[in-house]
């Protein structure tokens, strides 16, 4: 989800980087903000809709648990979205519901796109297997722990 500069829960007190600013939902008691699945760089078209909005975006990276959607049309953290993700070689999009977990806004000095991290809440039957197969042949992205 393009989160290389996203601080971990233990370092939330430090200043945001000059490149981008992040906001994320606070963890509920017993809930971790740490990612469980490896993240993979992708270039995928995504359609997103909510009660009053519809837009198309671009997935910059993805895991079996969610994706980062590069867009200026940020939705509120915690909002649930209907998603359609278009995987290469698959005739129909993967459909499901995601929850906005964090935002990335860009400063003037940044060259990274703004967007939002979305966690998959529900995927259509067979979609998790299609995502796993698609990601299996990609190299995971690695991030430095500061």
Enter the CATH code of domain 9-22+37-136: 2.40.10.220
Confidence of residue 36 (pLDDT cuts 50, 70, 90): low
Q: What is the mean pLDDT of the chain?
A: 76
Domain boundaries, the chain: 9-22+37-136
Name the more confident of 144 and 61: 61
3-state secondary structure of 105: strand
Name the more confident of 53 and 95: 95
H/E element holding 4? Answer: none
Residue 23 has pLDDT above 80, yes or no: no
Q: What are the pLDDT digits (tens) for 99-125?
A: 999 999 887 777 888 999 999 999 999
Q: What is the pTM of this model?
A: 0.70
pLDDT at 85: 95
3-state secondary structure of 95: strand
């Amino acid at each position: 989800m393009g989160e290389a500069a996203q601080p971990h829960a233990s370092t939330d007190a430090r200043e945001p980087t000059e490149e981008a600013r992040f906001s994320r939902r606070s963890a509920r008691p017993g809930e971790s903000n740490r990612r469980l699945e490896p993240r993979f760089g992708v270039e995928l078209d995504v359609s997103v809709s909510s009660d009053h909005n519809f837009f198309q975006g671009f997935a910059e990276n993805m895991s079996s648990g969610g994706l980062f959607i590069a867009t200026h049309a940020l939705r509120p953290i915690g909002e649930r979205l209907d998603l359609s993700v278009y995987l290469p070689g698959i005739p129909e999009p993967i459909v499901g519901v995601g929850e906005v977990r964090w935002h990335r806004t860009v400063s003037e000095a940044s060259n990274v796109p703004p967007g939002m991290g979305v966690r998959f809440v529900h995927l259509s039957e067979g979609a998790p297997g299609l995502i796993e197969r698609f990601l299996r042949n990609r190299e995971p992205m690695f991030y430095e722990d500061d």
